[in-house]
Amino acid sequence: MNKRKTGAKQVKLWSAVLAAMLLIGLLAGCGGGGNTAGGNGGGSPAAEGETSGDGGGKVNLRLYTYGTEEAYNWKHTLEAYEQANPGVTVELVQLSEKGDTQEAFKKLDLEAASSAQMDILMFSDAAGYAQRVALGMAEPLDDYIAKDGYTVEEDYKVDTHLDGKVYALPGKFNPWYVLLNKDHLEAAGLPVPADWTWDEFADYAKKLTQGEGADKRYGTYFHGPQAGGWMEYVKLLMMNQPQNADFLKADGSSNLDDPNFRKSLELRVRMEKEDQSSVPYTDMISQKLAYRTQFFNESASMLTIGSWMNTEIGGTDKVPLNFNVAVAPFPKNNPEDEIGLTPVTTDYVAVAAKSQHKEEAYRFVRWYTTEGQVVQGKNIPAWNGVSSEEITGIIDTILAGTKNPEKVDKESLVNTLMASKASAIIPPSSYQAEVYKAINEEYEKLILGNQDIDTTIKNCQERVNQIIESNKK
């Protein structure tokens, strides 16, 4: 039997088994005691003497998360909510002591299939969010949102709609951006970009490149693709589109006829082969280069990366900072395009479908993803209601944890984060890893000089269509 078909059947079989387990759990008494999955959980859903809240008594909500205390400041955050909402307690169920998202998802699925009380769920990525919505784990929030009189599109920088419905609100906001060696920019007479295109990015990289051989300093470093991962670097010009920003469309069909897929390949080839302004792909693979050292050792002047780097751009003990750093937005395709569209990672915070306190759970979710993000003070919020002063305060706190915060151009960082926003979520398919691997392999043939761009696109389209066909029911 075709291995892809076998793999697809196994994925579908596991999904069916998990869905059946979940259904059993949903029918088995949603308010049951159950064991906690770890950390701070207790054996019962509510403390002794607490009621369901229907008669005005106390309500205990159970929050399932992969987030650690160090990364999420839970104690302070939950205490703030409980003080502002007398009668409501939020019980933290930490699914992984080390913040391992894969471990957390496995434990979350087991809890969902049991009789444990679940009220609030936190998913770490779009794939995990979409998969568990498909399994019926999350409650639609559209009625609550309509009653409150706002829209996700207007209130948040991340649109969490799936198949026309909202099942979660976004918490933190980690957009991609461009880190810049400000000293190198000044030496080249280049300003810190506040709004630029990929053509301008390539021009900057060319002007920032210096030297030859082992001492050569490149204008930029691209940390991918690698073995089907870091695929963002193959779709650079696709990712700042409001819709269809991935290799597959929302319906699971191929999106490789998008002109910006070709333009992404053309950009990578031009910068490496013609301009010679980006670190060669062969060096990245053969030398197992690390993006942090490429930038902080000043081997490359610019780095396109996610804003999880906020906690490191001021330098750390392991990777010290010896120059001034600035930040620029993810480049646009065309000058007239909307500024700020970029790949984004966030937390998807949902109300559990099996919760018996959905209204109270929703109230927490809404608070946590708005004012609660400011109270937490660990990440930039996806909420548009946060002011530049509040973001500046959060950035100050984050940078204070680095070795040389004074070397960071804070204004450029704040402006970039304020301008950034995510494109629409495309629910990941069960065969997405196969798609990524195929495109990665064809890209390698291109960048190593073994085939041209036309052949690369043709091969990618054929292979991806075969993967899609072999995974059909």
Closest CA to 372 of 357, 359, 388, 385: 385
CA distance 41 to 43: 7
* pLDDT of residue 332 exceeding 80: yes
Tell me, yes or no, if the two domains 59-174+345-414 and 175-343+424-471 fold the same way: yes
pLDDT at residue 30 in the model: 38
Q: Does domain 175-343+424-471 have CATH number 3.40.190.10?
A: yes
- Which residue shows structure tokens 């069916």? 16
* 36: pLDDT strictly greater than 80: no
pLDDT for 235 beyond 80: yes
- What residue spans define the domains of the chain? 59-174+345-414, 175-343+424-471
Higher-confidence position of 211 and 52: 211
- For every residue of 343-409, DSSP letters joined together read -EE--EEEEBTT-S-HHHHHHHHHHHTTHHHHHH-SS-BSBTTS-HHHHHHHHHHHHHTSS-GGGB-
Q: How confident is the model at residue 473 (pLDDT cuts 50, 70, 90)?
A: low
Q: Which residue has the higher pLDDT, 23 or 113?
A: 113
Residue 46 above 60 pLDDT?
A: no
* Average confidence (pLDDT) over 328-336: 97
Q: Is the pLDDT of residue 234 over 60?
A: yes
Kindly tell me if the per-residue pLDDT of 41 is higher than 80.
Answer: no
Residue 350 tokens read as 């949902």
For the chain, what is the mean pLDDT? 88
The CATH number of 59-174+345-414 is: 3.40.190.10
Rounded to whole angstroms, what are the CA distances from 285 to 120, 227, 273, 280, 460? 41, 10, 16, 9, 21
What integer is the mean pLDDT of 23-40? 39
**426 closest CA partner among 237, 255, 233:** 255
Specify the pairing of strand 344-345 against strand 165-166.
unpaired
Q: How confident is the model at residue 433 (pLDDT cuts 50, 70, 90)?
A: confident
pLDDT-derived band at 428, boundaries 50, 70, 90 = confident
